[in-house]
Amino acid sequence: MKRAIVFLAAVIAVAALPQGAVFGQAVGKGSMLPQWVDDSWRNAQYPPNVWYVGYSIDEVKGGAKIADVLKRAEKSAQMKIAEGVYVNVKAESKTLTQSDLKKTGGVASETIGRYYEQQITSSTDVEIAGVELTTFHDQANNKVYALAKVKKTDLVGYYVSRVDYYLMNAENDFKLAKQFADSDKKRSAVEKITDAVKNILECRKYCSFLSAVDINAALRLMNKGAELLREISAFDMKLQEAARIFVGGREMLNEKEVSLVIPSIQSMLSESGCKVADKREESNFILTVDVRDCERSASGSFFYVYACVKADVYNVKTGKSDAKLNFTAPKAGWTNEEKAGKKAFEEAASALWKEIREKTEICK
């Protein structure tokens, strides 16, 4: 076998044996083999335009367990079905990708398209459901026969149901993303957009399987997913427009006005995808900070300083505060009292940024 098709137990649903199926039956001299062992009978009974069929023969060698040989023959028959589906997937995947890229604009969509093309042309996992298995043990000749078959219409139904499932998940994730964005929860909105794109990729995987059986149905669903991806991409670009935040306030260290915490917070905001506004009237959020050294102590030649922090995150859109913060930062120490104070304000900046990240979503 030049190309192995991997079968996972979790994704192969094997139907119960149909009435008349023979499992492990010994046949004496003069007994007839079942009709499905004959190639011409199988081809007539299960025409390739209606069925995917896999057929396998194995020998029962001395000491071998019949059950093990039967399982091996069943697996071989199922793999032959998967090989047939995979060959068709390879043939149709380019059609799907080209159609999607023609109808999907934007850098993000094209990137997804390229990823998808790579995914479906390199995959060796084909998911088959609804397979019916029939086995036969010819004791006289020490041979085992296995027949696996599945109707193409059943595969179409299964793949369509999986595509619909992942499309529905993507649509729900997108709705939640928009709801989070409306509430200025940017980080949650970005996470839901990521989830939606993941679901679309899963949808495309099943579209590739579906293309092996019904290319028109696959194209229809693929284009439905592409349309949703266009909407998500446009929304994501708008969402990525950085929020503008004005940072102001007062910092008092040893009864002197300093500028330590505010510049540090401004840098952290910029690194997290926000823009620092120069004017209050140009901002989406106003962060007002009040920091001062509130407690000092000494132990020998070591000085300790605590910084007390008050902050307000005001949402210009809603006209309300998203968070009011009031805490004492972890103490800082140094052999020099002035240096200890600066270290305390560094601790204050780190603690304030952590509070902002945990209690607001002003940045992604």
Task: Indicate the DSSP class of residue 254.
Answer: T
Contact 174, 231 (CB under 8 A): yes
Contact 197, 228 (CB under 8 A): no
Got the DSSP string for 316-343? TTTTEEEEEEEEEPPPEEESSHHHHHHH
Region of residue 153 (left: phi > 0; alpha: psi -120 to 50; beta: else): alpha
Q: Give the range with max mean pLDDT: 53-57, 198-202, 358-362.
A: 53-57
Q: Determine the structural domain holding residue 282 and report its residue range.
A: 244-359
Per-residue HEC secondary structure of 140-201 comes to: CCCEEEEEEEEEHHHHHHHHHHHHHHHHHHHHHHHHHHHHHHHCCCHHHHHHHHHHHHHHHH
Question: Across all residues in the chain, what is the average pLDDT?
Answer: 80
> d(Cα 223, Cα 229) in Å, to the nearest integer?
9
More confident residue, 86 or 245: 245
Minimal CA–CA distance to 274: which of 313, 300, 303, 307? 313
pLDDT tens sequence across 103-117: 544 544 554 554 444
Decide: helix, strand or coil at residue 248. strand
pLDDT of residue 130: 86
Inside any domain, residue 107: no
Inside any domain, residue 198: no
Q: Which two tokens stand for residue 213?
A: 């059986």
Query: What's the predicted TM-score (pTM) here?
Result: 0.61
Inside any domain, residue 315: yes
Minimal CA–CA distance to 272: which of 179, 354, 180? 354
pLDDT tens sequence across 241-298: 667 899 999 999 989 999 999 999 999 988 887 888 899 888 889 999 999 999 899 8
pLDDT of residue 288: 95
CATH number for the domain that contains residue 312 = 3.40.50.10610
pLDDT of residue 188: 85
The domain total for the chain is 1
Q: What is the mean pLDDT of the segment spanning 83-90? A: 72
Inside any domain, residue 331: yes
Inside any domain, residue 97: no
> d(Cα 122, Cα 100) in Å, to the nearest integer?
18
pLDDT of residue 240: 67
Inside any domain, residue 22: no
